[in-house]
Amino acid sequence: MDKIIQVKEILRKKSKNYNNNFQNIEDFVKKEFNEIKKLKQNSENIIPEISFDKLSNDTHSIEKLIKKRGCVIIRDVFDDNRVLELDKSLENYIINNNYYEHQKKKVGIDNYFSDLKSGKPQIYGLYWSNSQSEIRHSEEMQTVKAFLNNLWIYENDEYKVFDPNRELCYADRVRRREPGDNSLGLSPHCDAGSVERWTDPSYQIIYNNIFSDNFNNYDPFNAKYRDRTIEFESPAVAHVFRTFQGWTALTEQGPKDGTLQLIPIAKAMAYVLTRALLDDVPENELCGSKVGKALSVNETYHSLLLEGLISIPKMYPGDTIWWHPDVIHAVEDIHLGKNYSNVIYVGSTPYCKKNLDYIKKQSKKFLEGKSPPDFAAEDFEVNYKGRVTEKDLSLLAKKQLGLIDWN
């Protein structure tokens, strides 16, 4: 707690007047929300969209929108029939390996999702199915991630942060949410660190313009020092640098189908960071943020931001959605749709030392069929039939999993 008090004092001193600094950022957020409301009234896309086959064209105009909104939908990345087959294959993998019974025996190991119904979980602790592997290591996904990575400023006068055209594979889980489910609602939050965003020296450099009255010059797509942040040890926090978080839709889903919500403002993190410095927040607190947990965005301190939370539009099998690691997101409380809402989580994790260090640890888990280091050690798949092993991998997949060198 003393650390938080000290850090808040240091960060306040960066500004000539931290109250005025926050007010300027709040005014910016209000202006963005007014713009979003107009788009909604005119039935225009709020989240930028582009089809996969257009990525090779001139994308300058949509790139500007993506950097403004901090998110993008890339449609038709995969053929819908192929994706539906992968969804069925994943279902068979779950049933044939008796996953539901195994999951019941390990309820509570993963505290981050400990409130899920024990009989029918919605987030599955599976990482090494053929369906996940095929999506992650496909040439299509490599093309998408190269496009996303190149939106960032990845070179500066000190060093090259990452290689945008070489990708490493951060293995993540799957969501299979059944109609009527009300167990998976996730309140608005950000991953990849909470308290660290104020206390970590690298994050302080990343956000220096925000704290120093230079908000207009803050660029959320400048990667400098993003690869040098140090996160607290926790199974709820990613220890890699992702240029974008994302998922691939396995089924049709949209508003009220218990799926993703976003606050589509790339610079909204500035509001969260400076809000914590105001005098109405207890000196030893950061608006509810806790070590080892996702960064909370709540009604008490961030009611204005919550006004901008929107549900994503209709997604179809083979579509993908991506959001900047600072973009606030949530999951709808209840699935009111009639069909399963299924996705495979896939983030964009470019080649850099921070990510490679993690991938080397993850590769050992892959070879053993165990859960990756960032996740609870449930280790369901060790003896699963149909689990992907090294002999099943393409050359690209082996590079992305750190089993062979990219060079």
> Is the pLDDT assigned to residue 151 strictly greater than 50?
yes
**What is this structure's pTM?**
0.95
Radius of gyration of the chain (CA): 21
Task: Summarize the confidence of residues 248-277 as an average pLDDT.
Answer: 96
- Look at 110 and 120; give whichever has higher pLDDT: 110
Task: Summarize the confidence of residues 7-14 as an average pLDDT.
Answer: 97
pLDDT at residue number 1: 58
How far is the CA of 379 from the CAs of 127, 373, 383, in angstroms? 10, 11, 9
How far is the CA of 339 from the CAs of 177, 179, 262, in angstroms? 9, 6, 22
pLDDT at residue number 71: 98
Q: Strand 310-311 vs strand 260-262: parallel, antiparallel, or unpaired?
A: antiparallel
Sequence length of the chain is 407
pLDDT at residue number 180: 87
> Which residues, at least 6 apart from 326, have a Cβ–Cβ distance to it below 8 Å?
70, 190, 220, 266, 268, 269
Amino acid identity at 217: N
pLDDT band at 233 (very low <50, low <70, confident <90, very high): confident
Strands (E), 192-299: 245-249, 260-262, 295-296
Domain extent listing, the chain: 49-191+234-268+294-400
> Is the pLDDT assigned to residue 258 strictly greater than 70?
yes
> Is the pLDDT assigned to residue 192 strictly greater than 90?
no
> Is the pLDDT assigned to residue 184 strictly greater than 80?
no
Percent of the chain at pLDDT above 70? 96
pLDDT at residue number 103: 86
Residue 48's closest CA among 313, 347, 394?
A: 313
pLDDT at residue number 208: 98
Please check whether the domain covering 49-191+234-268+294-400 is classified as CATH 2.60.120.330.
yes
Q: Could you read off the pLDDT of 83-98 as tens digits, one per residue? A: 999 999 999 999 999 9
**What does pLDDT average to over the chain?**
93
pLDDT band at 115 (very low <50, low <70, confident <90, very high): very low
Task: Summarize the confidence of residues 131-150 as an average pLDDT.
Answer: 98
DSSP 54: G
> Is the pLDDT assigned to residue 270 strictly greater than 60?
yes
